[in-house]
Structure formats: C-alpha cells, structure tokens
Amino acid sequence: MKNGFLPTTKEELVELGIDKLDFVLVSADAYVDHPSFGHAIISRVLEAAGYTVGIIAQPDWHSKEAFMRLGRPRLAFLISTGNIDSMVCHYTASKKKRNDDSYSPGGKAGFRPDRPAIVYTNRVKEAYSGVPVIIGGLEASLRRFAHYDYWDDKVRHSILIDSGADLVIYGMGENPILEIAEKLNSGIPVSEITDVSGTCYLSKKIPEKCFACHSFAEVKADKKKYAESFMIQYKNQDPFSGNVVIQQHGDMYVVQNKPAKPLTTKEMDRVYSLPYVGTYHPSYEKDGGVPAISEVKFSLVSSRGCFGNCSFCALAFHQGRIISSRSQKSLIKEAEKLVWDPDFKGYIHDVGGPTANFRKPSCKKQGEKGSCPKRQCLFPTPCENLEIDHKEYAELLRKLADIPKVKKVFVRSGIRYDYLIYDKDDTFFKQLCENHISGQLKVAPEHVSDDVLYYMGKPSFEVYKRFAQKFKSINENIGKKQFLVPYLMSSHPGSTLNDAIQLAEYLRDIGYSPEQVQDFYPTPGTLSTCMYYTGIDPRDMSQVYVPKSYEEKKMQRALLQYRRPENYEIVKKALLKAKRADLIGFEKHCLIKPRVIKGGNKNERTDNRRKKSIGKDKRGIKDRGRKTKTRR
C-alpha cells in the first residue's frame, strides 16, 4: 500500500493484486500499526514470513457481513482481542459503564462488544463454515481455563468452549503463530495442530505426560477445588519447568501445551525492526485519531516479562516471569527514526516495559533454566541469587539522550523500587532523579499494611519507606524538588477496614491526597482474583478475608480520599464501624472534623446560627459594596 498500512478493504486488495489473503486478522482495537499493539506485531511478523494479511478492525458485530469484507482467507482467521480486556475497557471496578475507550476512534466507547473473542468467532463461523479460527491477545490468553468472571459473578468455561475457536495462542504469540502458519500452509488440518508451544486446543483424548486440574464441573461447584486447580495452572507457566495441563469440560479436555520460550534478544530486535507505520490508520483522521497512540508513539519498548510477580497482576500468566529485552543498538536505531517525525518535540516519553528497570533475567539460572517454581525473586525478601545491576540500563538512557534532537528521555513505566533500593551502586538512582523524571516519580507500594502486602505479593512497607527516604535525600543533594506519586489500592483480599484506616493515617502523616486510587478489580488469571472468589489463599490453602460488599468497598476507597467533602459521611460511617471515633475531632491526628447536626444541643445550635449570621454579614457587606459601586 502507498500509505504503508496492510489492506483493510477489497479495493486495496485489488490495488495490491491479491486475489485471496492468507490470513484475515480481526482486531477488537482500532487499527494502529505500532509495535505497542498486538495486532500490528502479529500481522507484520506474518508478512515478513511471506504471508499476505488483511486487517478488519472493530467490525460491526451485529451481522456477519462486516466479517466478509476481505473474503475467505486461504489459511485462517486470526482474532486479536485487544491490548486491554474488553470487560475492563467497558466497566469500572464497581461495574459501571465507561463512556470512553482510548483504543477506539475518537476515544469513544461502543466500537467493540463485550468478550469479542466469543462474538467475533461466532460471526466468522457463521460467515465461512469450516474456516480455522485462532484467537489470541490478553482476553483470550487469560481465559484459557475455567475461570471466575467478576462481571457475571460466576465460573465460566474455557474461552475455547465459549467461543468455538480452534486454537488459543496464549502469552506472546510471534513464534507460535509462525509455527501454526507453516503447518497450515503445508496442508495440516487445524484439528491436528496439537503440538505447538504456547497454544491450547480441545481434545477428546488425554495426552501423555500431563497434569490434570479439577474439571469445570468440580471447580464450579467447589471453591477449594477451584483454588487447587488455579495453583496447578499457576505453577506450570514456565517454558522450562512447566508441563502440559488439562482440564475436563464435559466430554472434552482443554489442553494447554507448555508455554512458548521467550524471545531472544535477536528475535526481539527483529520483531521491532519490522516496517511499522507507527501510527493509526488514516481512516480515523475524521474521528480525531486513536487516543491510545499519544503516549506510546514516542516511547520505546525495551523489555517484556516481569519477575516481580505481584498477586493482582496477570503478567505471570501472560508474558511470564523471564525477562526478554532488546539490544541497545535496536533501541537507538528506533529512536533515531523517531526524531524525524514531524510531531516529535524532543522528548522520548518512556523506555521500558512491564517494569522499566528489569532489563535482564533475575539471575543466570532464570535465563538458562527458567524461574524457580517454589521461590519468588523479590518476595518476601530478595533471593540470594538475585543479580541487582542498573549499569546497562543507565548506559542505554544516556546513549538515547545523546541522540541529536533528543532533549529529554523520561522513564514513565513502572520502576520496581524494591529492586532499585537493593542496588548498592547509587549511580542509576541519581541519574534517574537528575535526568529522567519531571517532578514526579510514579511507584507502586499499593498499601502500608504488611498483612495486605503479603497477600499482594509485595515486600514489607519498610522497604518502601527506605526507598522514599533515599529518593528525598538524593533530590535534596542535587537541589531538586521532586515528589513520589504512590499508586495505592483499596479492598484487596486480606484488607480489613482497619487496614484501610491505617493507610488513611499514613496519607495524613505524609500530607498526601491521592487524585486517583484503584479499587481492587478481579480479572481472570491472577492469584488475587482466585482469593477474591474463593476466600482462599491458593499458595497455602489458608482462609483469607475478602471485602466484597458494596458498602465496605466504598468505605475502603473513600478512606484513601478522606479529605474530599463528598466522602465525609461514608468515612465517618467507616470510622464508627471500626470503633475509631478517636479519628473524628479537631486534634491534629484526626481524619475528619465533627459536623454540626440540626436539632443538636443549645451550644451547637448557637454556634451554627453564629456561623450563618457571620456568613450573612459578609454577604451583606459584599452586596452593599456592589450596590454602592453600581450607583457611582
């Protein structure tokens, strides 16, 4: 195509001289040809391998016609469920409908259905009988087994059962899709493609050498069995130590092959060197573009994976714990192209990934033998084999900053403070404060209660306090007034009302009023969601307290923003319920002040009238002043 994009219409196929595409990729996101979007990567990887690919982005799912726009593909339909789970995209943690969607034209909601993997697959099957359908992306990946669905408040089948798709590619899909394409191209039916790492399929037979979860019927009926099954799945997500895992659904078995190995640096460099246009399709100009591109257009993806492994994060179930990273040469080459973009203002917005300062595996063993199945790298304390070194990342940032036309290189994706604080060399920490943040550094302590942090898979709060003190000290030494912006979470499993009050007291003590807080959002594939649904910590099968009622969740959230007038009544109610009336008063340690109630005692009524009288006098003076001025 003249504009560099892959074909999206029949007219463009004619222009390119393509009679029949090899693959048609249906995306739940708008078509953005940038490597931050999964559909862009998969389509370009296939194109580089010699296959023809067309894109149908956000089709009207109410009929099959929109899915027939590019005709029947020779090999398969690919369905990409988007960069963000559709249900998270559509609904808040309190299940209220959102009005916007940054991955759609003009940032407007309504361009994708709930659960597009299911809806799109059914429309494709309706349009073209017998066509292979392969689904991937975050939504499909995290639903590959029976899973608790927060929005329906029930356990749902594997996405393979609900959608009728032939294969699920879970995790990072570059190598699995190429292997599948090669098999399809050689004439192997999709029903016989059962040996590709990083995929799930349905079978009537139990494969040899596999681990069996409890069946769908069992996990739906018994929360203890749900928790046990989750841990079997959770422990088999490493490409080195993982095993084939099966789960019975009626007379069929969902079979998860071993995870695909993470890309090598050479493979990562190749993927990110493909001819991406770098922006959204021009057809969206009339709508004002696609908002999601704004933050990533001038950012660099340097790594994948995260060995931090927080309980509420799905990365361990999707990207895995092993770090893959691009070479400095690859990143510098991309940056040198960015500076010539007409919209580039001299600022590289980010150089990172899931965790910006993870640029290599946690230790030599992880790179060669995978992650330890029974040991975390950072939780509850750092592993003795953990290699903590920021020298290479610091060097990379300096080289990027030295590129002509680059004014500043920022680090905006997450910094793991519990990794940085253990680095005995302060060079990177100082460089970060001096050159790579602009007034504020976002970090994620999430909570202050060590009990809650344990369930979150986060270190003791003392670690964060050490980090905060060091951040303050470094900034004082370099003469900069910069601040930490802590991400905080309310209502996580294990968090009681007293824990939420403890967090509010900390915010009082540091004089911080968070603009935004995250109420815990149960999404498939996380250890925390398993706790939320079952009330069981699957790591040791112990009971865990879960705040579930709407009122308590509202209380915990409001306590984090107790200074807001609209939260006064719910905060007061929470404090009284927790028997913490000592925090209601005029003393310095109190969270809220008492309010005068109508019909109170004589002194209260007198004070109330006095306040009203003073208010009237002031208004009267102002009014008289305005009248006098008018007469003049």
* pLDDT per residue as tens digits for the range 437-457: 989 999 999 999 999 999 999
631, pLDDT greater than 60: no
Which whole-number Å values give the CA distances from 296 to 280, 292, 293, 600, in the listed order? 12, 7, 5, 57
- Helix, strand or coil for residue 59? coil
- Please tell me whether residues 307 and 187 are part of one structural domain: no
Write the CB contacts of 216 (distance below 8 Å, at least 6 apart in sequence).
146, 155, 157, 158, 161, 247, 248, 249, 250
624, pLDDT greater than 90: no
Counting DSSP H helices and E strands in the chain, the numbers are 24, 22
Q: What is the pLDDT of residue 599?
A: 54
pLDDT band for position 613 (50/70/90)? very low
622, pLDDT greater than 70: no
Cα angle, residue 488 at apex, residues 312 and 472 outer, rounded to 5°: 125
579, pLDDT greater than 70: yes
The CATH number of the domain holding residue 537 is: 3.30.750
In a domain, 232, yes or no: no
Mean pLDDT of 119-124: 98
pLDDT band for position 601 (50/70/90)? low
Q: What is the pLDDT of residue 366?
A: 87
- Give the HSE-up count for residue 521: Cα atoms under 13 Å, Cβ half-sphere: 17
Length of the chain: 632
Q: What is the pLDDT of residue 375?
A: 86
- Give the Cα separation of 388 and 427 in Å (integer): 13
Task: Report strand pairing: 483-490 vs 440-446.
Answer: parallel
605, pLDDT greater than 90: no
Q: What is the pLDDT of residue 413?
A: 84
pLDDT band for position 510 (50/70/90)? very high
The tokens describing 173, both together, are 């899909």
- Give the Cα separation of 239 and 258 in Å (integer): 6
Q: What is the pLDDT of residue 597?
A: 58
In a domain, 563, yes or no: yes
Question: At 266, phi and psi to the nearest 5?
Answer: -65, -40
In a domain, 509, yes or no: yes
Torsion of the alpha carbons at 480, 483, 484 and 490, rounded to the nearest 10: 180
In a domain, 541, yes or no: yes
Mean pLDDT of 54-76: 97
Q: What is the pLDDT of residue 617?
A: 45
Write the CB contacts of 559 (distance below 8 Å, at least 6 apart in sequence).
490, 500, 501, 503, 504, 571, 574, 591
Mean pLDDT of 262-279: 97
Q: Which helix (H) or strand (E) holds 271?
A: helix 265-272
pLDDT band for position 598 (50/70/90)? low
The CATH number of the domain holding residue 411 is: 3.30.750.210
615, pLDDT greater than 50: no
pLDDT band for position 156 (50/70/90)? very high
Of the three residues 394, 422, 438, the one that is the final residue of a domain is 438
In a domain, 292, yes or no: no
- Give the Cα separation of 568 and 131 in Å (integer): 58
97, pLDDT greater than 50: yes
- Please tell me whether residues 139 and 52 are part of one structural domain: yes
- Please tell me whether residues 32 and 53 are part of one structural domain: yes
CB 378 within 8 A of CB 386: yes
- Please tell me whether residues 496 and 591 are part of one structural domain: yes
In a domain, 492, yes or no: yes
* 13 vs 615: which has the higher pLDDT: 13
Q: What is the pLDDT of residue 10?
A: 95
How confident is the model over 456-470, as pLDDT tens digits? 999 999 999 999 999
Per-chain mean pLDDT for the chain: 92
- Helix, strand or coil for residue 482? coil
- Please tell me whether residues 492 and 567 are part of one structural domain: yes
Outline where DSSP puts E strands in 302-373: 303-304, 324-325, 347-348, 350-352
Q: What is the pLDDT of residue 2?
A: 72
Helix segments in 427-534, DSSP class H: 427-435, 450-456, 461-478, 497-510, 527-534
CB 73 within 8 A of CB 131: yes
Mean pLDDT of 496-513: 96
Of the three residues 172, 198, 224, the one that is the final residue of a domain is 198
Q: Which residues pair with 100 in a beta bridge?
A: 108
Question: At 332, phi and psi to the nearest 5?
Answer: -65, -40
The CATH number of the domain holding residue 187 is: 3.40.50.280
CB 72 within 8 A of CB 64: no
- Please tell me whether residues 590 and 532 are part of one structural domain: yes
- Please tell me whether residues 588 and 608 are part of one structural domain: no
196, pLDDT greater than 80: yes
- Give the Cα separation of 441 and 59 in Å (integer): 39
Whether the model pTM is above 0.85: yes
277, pLDDT greater than 50: yes
- Please tell me whether residues 76 and 178 are part of one structural domain: yes
256, pLDDT greater than 50: yes
- Report which of 85, 122, 119 is spatially closest to residue 103, judged by C-alpha positions: 85
Q: What is the pLDDT of residue 614?
A: 41
Of the three residues 167, 198, 229, the one that is the final residue of a domain is 198
Count up the domains in the chain and report the number. Answer: 4
- Give the HSE-up count for residue 484: Cα atoms under 13 Å, Cβ half-sphere: 26
596, pLDDT greater than 80: no
**N- to C-terminal Cα separation, the chain:** 73
The tokens describing 362, both together, are 């946690």
- Please tell me whether residues 557 and 616 are part of one structural domain: no
Q: Which long-range contacts (CB under 8 A, 24 or more apart) does 9-18 make?
A: 9/69, 9/70, 10/69, 10/70, 10/71, 13/54, 13/70, 13/71, 18/52
Least confident of 395-399, 512-516, 585-589: 512-516
The one-letter code for the residue type at 586 is: F
Write the CB contacts of 43 (distance below 8 Å, at least 6 apart in sequence).
6, 23, 25, 53, 55
- Please tell me whether residues 393 and 456 are part of one structural domain: no
Give me the domain span that covers residue 615: 601-632
| Percentage, residues of the chain above pLDDT 90 | 88
- Please tell me whether residues 94 and 120 are part of one structural domain: yes
Mean pLDDT of 390-418: 95
Mean pLDDT of 574-578: 97
In a domain, 293, yes or no: no
- Please tell me whether residues 355 and 313 are part of one structural domain: yes
Write the CB contacts of 320 (distance below 8 Å, at least 6 apart in sequence).
171, 172, 237, 238, 239, 259, 262, 305, 371
Q: What is the pLDDT of residue 629?
A: 36
Q: What is the pLDDT of residue 604?
A: 44
In a domain, 237, yes or no: no
Mean pLDDT of 504-511: 95
